[in-house]
Every structure is written in structure tokens, then in C-alpha cells.
Amino acid sequence: MEHPGPPRFVAVGDAIELAPRDPDPTETYAWHLRAAPVDSTIELPDDEPVVEFAPDAPGTYELELDASDRRHRLTVRAFPGDLAPAGRGVGASGGSGLSGYQSGSARTSGESGGVSGSGSGTHSEGGGGGRPRLQLHGDVEGTELVVRADPQPHPDSDADRDDVVVEFLVDDRDDVDRDQIAIEGWELRIPTSVVGDRVRVHAVAVEESYSVPDTIEFARETVPDGGDAQGRMVTVPDASAEGQGSEASDADAASDGGHTAADPESATGDAPGDDAAGSDAFEVVRTNDPPAWSTDVTLYEIYVRGFAGPPEDQQADTVFAAIEERLDYLESLGVDCLWLTPVLQNDHAPHGYNITDFFSIAEDLGDREDYEQFVEAAHDHGMKVLFDLVMNHSARDHPFYQDAYRNPDSAYYDWYDWKDDGEPETYFEWEYIANWNFSNLAVRRHLLDAVDTWFEIADGFRCDMAWAVPDSFWRELRDRVKSRDRDFLLLDETIPYIADFHDGMFDMHFDTTLYFTLRQVGRGDEPASAILDAIDQRAEVGFPPHAAFMLYIENHDETRYVVECGDDAAMAAAGALVTLPGVPMLYGGQELGQRGRRDALAWDHAREAFHEHYERLLEVREEIPALGYDGDLKRVDYGTDSDRVVAFERSLDDEAYVCVLNFGESTATVTLDTVSVDPTDAITGESLATDEGLAVDDVAVFPVA
């Protein structure tokens, strides 16, 4: 599977990194330019396996990669430079020395972060206007595969939706006769008879700039006679695999991921199982949708070397066993997904992000068997487990680095990225790590093998410093894990978030904009209404409608919210986590009123008011589906005498609720001008009605009457 992956969309003036997948470092790879726009004079180095491709003219480029198994073709669509999403060049990931983003792994103690704003897609002096957004929908109609695009102009655009153009590209890896593909406007159709095992269709919407791409996959499956298609497959009469004009191979036949599929009742073909045994069917997959389970959980970050409490108080044989003893508590709290800080062998920095062995569990925590036992116990409690994946760097105590430092003859010298003075490249002058050189295929091979190792005993990866690793690596990693488990979650830590990271890389994103806004509101530096602006910014920077976001107010890198903003604001911020669209994440001890950022949790000194508050909030989120991932958010007109109060509506199907957050120190009276509510608060069960309006202490949820 050495093909470099899906077709790419880019603008003149931007660059993309291209690399062979599943590489063999002992093999030779060479890139060639097969076809280019007439105005292009670009040339590719023919002796480098990993190349930066920067188109110099708009149009379509056909590149070829000579690999050990075959010659692979890759299509790149280059738009004019004035269609480049504003900030896209700045937001590109993976180059050592970029300092525009802060990572969560080693920020200076005591800082709560000062970055605000967004990644690609905002208005700026250097590029086009706001990005449109796109979502694709697939179906099987009779003997045709159909892709329909749903483009939306940028929220601030004056353009008519009908003026948005959609461009489609069919994956170069797939076996399909391209001459038989019909495109009309926002719709693409392919006869099933010209498709092999599968076909993937990629597209972007183009207005003032181009959107984050989306993808639909049609995978041919065999439905046994009388078998159950499970609502995802559509039988196609007389379908055959006579496709031409592609280079699809058996190695590429696995699915890339996603989870949503077409309803067979909506198709005109025969029902699955009606034909003879072994009839062909297609599964329709939206590959960029997050796993269904991931949007319905409460995440909880465990700082592994402190969560269980002071070491001297521990009775368990290992740290994993000590954490396991707290699983009953976490289950009762309402937690159903755990993120553990890194558990691999490291340089003994307690946070664990400076790794010295990517294949071994840290000795002070236990061994692999202990870790597997913990994961199994978490599963028994109905919890998923995320593995903290650190791909950008190794510790300087890593044996490869120790051998390579100031030793150009070392077999590992080219594994690292070096500055001119012989010191390793890094970020923010961190002195204990060294950046990998991703142009070296041996590095990619080493890290992909580590991915394979820990994929087996995890339900997802929390990807550290995602912005500092090349896009091409993340795209390969995603295809690699999703081909084995579509429901495997990929969560990126990127500060600030980048909309393009939802293009075949990640399922869920740290909502960094909301995080910083909640800090500003909590300190009184911004009005509470800025929270709704932060939610709106997701669409404004170009995230597609299917992108998922993790909501948080603190983690192991940040000063505790209660320390920086006080008790009253902390109670309201807790309400924000469960009433705003997204997946709430709690950092261990947050629900206890813990004040130390990385201290051992003071279980015996937990603040009961905090614990009860969080426990009830999580119950309410579970009880009211409108507060969840699928619920809509709408602004409402409200009156109050404090700018520390915000009100908004959440709705799903026929149910709607007005949520009120009060970050102030005293009870706020709120009036609602355009919507009538039942004054009984869903959180406390008490009426909050007064003669003047609704009296809200920190958070309240009112059913719309």
C-alpha cells in the first residue's frame, strides 16, 4: 500500500507534503510529473521519497510515484492563489521551527494560554474571503451510485447558495471507468457496472475560497442469501466489476473509516438478500464523520502520576491498578471515556511526554499486561480508553538521539531535524525533546509500527501537538487505523484549531477558541455573550457541519479554572460544558474543586458542592438529548442587568430548552423576550420564577413551553 493517498486540493502559493505510505526504508522511491497545466514550469526532485509540492499555476496536476510494488498516480487540483483560504499557509502543519501554535504537552507552569482566534479560514489581508462549507451524501439508486453535495456559503457571505460551485475528484486508487462518470452541478453519478471493489468520491465547494473537502465511499460487499445487510448495504442487480482506468490494488481494498451509511429503503434496487446467494451490494460510508459513540460520551483526562492520590497512600501494586480502583467512582459520576496522559517509557518527567521508548510501558506505572488489564477493566465499566499518542518528537534521553547527537556518522543522525549549530529543532525552546525528521522514511516506519502496537489496546488516539506533524503522516495514520476499526477515534490537540484538520485526518478537535473565551469570560475580560460568538466561529473558519469538538475549561497544562476565575465562574463554566454543542471533557479533580494543576488529587479534601454540581449536570445532559451533539443551538433575546450572563436555546426534534449561564458573583435576574419557558429548572427541579424574571445563580435549563 505504498500509494501516497487520496487526491489533494490546494491553492497556488501553498504547498503540500507527499510521501509513500507504509514505506520500506530500504526501497527506492521516485516522483514524476505526468501532466501539468500549460503555464506550469514546476519540476519534482526524482531522488527524494518525501517531497513538498507547491503548484505554480492553477489547474490539475497528475503526479506519479515509482514504488517497489508499482507506479502510483496521484491527482492534485490547484486553485488560483486568490481562492486560498485565508491563513491556510500559516496553518499548515509539520515544519520544525513554526511557532504560531502552543502545544498542550509542556507549556510553562502557571500560564493559561494567550492564544485566541482560529486556524485557517478567517478573513485576513493575505487571502480570499470566508470559506464555504460542504457535506456530501451518498446513495444507491437502481444501478447507479449517486453523490449529492450540500454546499453552504460562508455565514458572512453575500453570495447566493446557487452560485457555489462543487468540484469532484474520484480517488486515484480506485478501480472505476472514469469515462462513465456523469457530473451535473452538485451531483455525481457512476454506473455500478464500471466500479470494482470500491470507489471514493472527494469534493470541495468553491466560492470566495474553497472548502474543507468531504468524501463519500461506496464499498462493494457480498450479502449472503438471506443475510442481514444491517441497514447499510444496497443490492445492485447485475452489478459487475468491469472498472477500468485506475490502479486500485488488493492492498487498498480496506475501508478508510466513517460510520454513516445509506438506508436501503431509500434506494430503488432490490432489497438485500432477495437475489441469489452472494449477490453484490454497496455500503455507503461518510468517511469524515466521527464515530457515533464518540459524540455521546463524557471525556475524563487522567494525569496518570497523580490521579490516584499521593504515592504514600497507595495500596495497589501498580499505578494502573490504583487508577482501576477509581473506575467505580468515575462510572457513578457519568464518565464513559478516559484519556490517560502518556504511559510509555520516558525521561522521568512526570507528565510523560518526553518518550524514550515508543514500544514499552513506563516501568513506574506497571507493564503492558498491567495496562491491558486496566483497559479491560475500563471496558467492563462501559468506558472507552484513549491513548495519548506523541508523534512529533522523542526525548533527548532516547537512545537514538543519544547516538545521533553531534555524530553525523550515526545511523540515527538523519532521524532528527537539526539546526545549523548542531542542536536539535524543537518548539518554544523546550530543552528535553528533539523533533523527528519526517522526510526520513525510517522515522515514519518506526512511528507507524508504534501506532500499530498501541492501536490494538485502545479505542482512540488523543494526538499530541498535531499541528507539528506533517499532514501526510496523519492522513496515512487515519487510513491505517480506520481500515481496521471504523469506530476508532482520532482527537487532535491543535492550538488554535485548524479547519483543514477535518480533511481526512481527525474526527474531533479541541475547541481551543471556546476554551480561551471561557477563560476570558470567567476573568471578566469579555461579556458572557462572547461564548456564542466562539461557537459561531467554528462555521466561520470553515469547519464542516459534521466536525465534532471537545469542550474543556482546563487540562494538565493549564492553571485550574477555579484558581484563575473563582468559584462562581467555575460553576457556570461547568454548566457551559454540558449545555453547549460538543463533547464535554473533565480534567481529573476538576469536579472535586482541585486547585493544583498536576498535584496528586486530594480525594479526602474534595469540595462536595463541586462534586454534586458536576454529577447533576452530567445527569441532565444524559436526560436531555437536545443538549447533546445532535441538538441545534439558537440565539434568543434576553434581558439582564449583567454582561456576565448569557442565554441560548438548544433544540432537537420537538423539544427545546433555554439555557442560562451566569458567571457573576451574585444571582442574576433574566427575562426572555421572544420565548416562553416553564420556570422549573431541569437541574434543580425548582421554580426559579420571581416577579422580575428568572433568578439564576450559575446555570439553569428551562423547558420551552
Amino acid letter, residue 668: A
Amino acid letter, residue 575: G
Distance CA 10, CA 6 (A): 13
CA-wise closest residue to 500 among 37, 225, 89, 178:
89
Q: Distance of CA 526 to CAs 516, 529, 644, 646, 663, Å?
A: 11, 8, 8, 12, 11
Grid cell at residue 191: 454506473
CA-wise closest residue to 235 among 151, 173, 142:
142
Q: Are strands 133-141 and 144-152 parallel, antiparallel or unpaired?
A: antiparallel
* Bond prior to 545 in cis (omega within 30° of 0): no
Which residues lie across from 280 on neighbouring strands? 222
Q: Are strands 299-302 and 133-141 parallel, antiparallel or unpaired?
A: unpaired
CA-wise closest residue to 105 among 299, 354, 469:
354
Quick one: how far is CA 160 from the chain centroid?
A: 30
Q: What is the Cβ-side half-sphere exposure of residue 240, based on CA atoms within 13 angstroms?
A: 3
CA-wise closest residue to 353 among 557, 594, 590, 587:
557
Q: Could you tell me if 574 and 612 are in contact, meaning their C-beta atoms sit under 8 angstroms apart?
A: no
Distance CA 335, CA 474 (A): 28
Active-site hit among 2, 324, 493, 526: 493
The DSSP code for 297 is: -
CB atoms within 10 A of CB 379: 12
Distance CA 113, CA 107 (A): 8
Active-site hit among 139, 221, 464, 540: 464
Q: Could you tell me if 280 and 236 are in contact, meaning their C-beta atoms sit under 8 angstroms apart?
A: yes
For the CA atoms of 625, 631, 635, 640, the dihedral, rounded to the nearest 10 degrees, stands at 20
Distance CA 186, CA 152 (A): 12
Distance CA 340, CA 371 (A): 11
Q: Could you tell me if 553 and 643 are in contact, meaning their C-beta atoms sit under 8 angstroms apart?
A: no
Amino acid letter, residue 461: F
Nearest 5°: phi and psi at 133? Answer: -125, 155
Distance CA 269, CA 70 (A): 37
Q: Distance of CA 138 to CAs 188, 290, 500, 586, 678, Å?
A: 10, 17, 22, 36, 41
Q: Could you tell me if 568 and 554 are in contact, meaning their C-beta atoms sit under 8 angstroms apart?
A: no
Helix and strand numbers, DSSP H then E, in the chain: 12, 34
Please return the burial class of 114, using the count of CB atoms within 10 Å of its CB with bins 0-12, 13-18 and 19+.
exposed
- Find the angle CA(510)-CA(513)-CA(516) to the nearest 5 degrees: 105
Q: Are strands 299-302 and 337-340 parallel, antiparallel or unpaired?
A: parallel
Q: Please indicate whether residue 493 is annotated as part of the active site.
A: yes
Which residues lie across from 584 on neighbouring strands? 551
Distance CA 168, CA 590 (A): 46
Quick one: how far is CA 44 from the chain centroid?
A: 32
Please give the positions annotated as active site.
464, 493
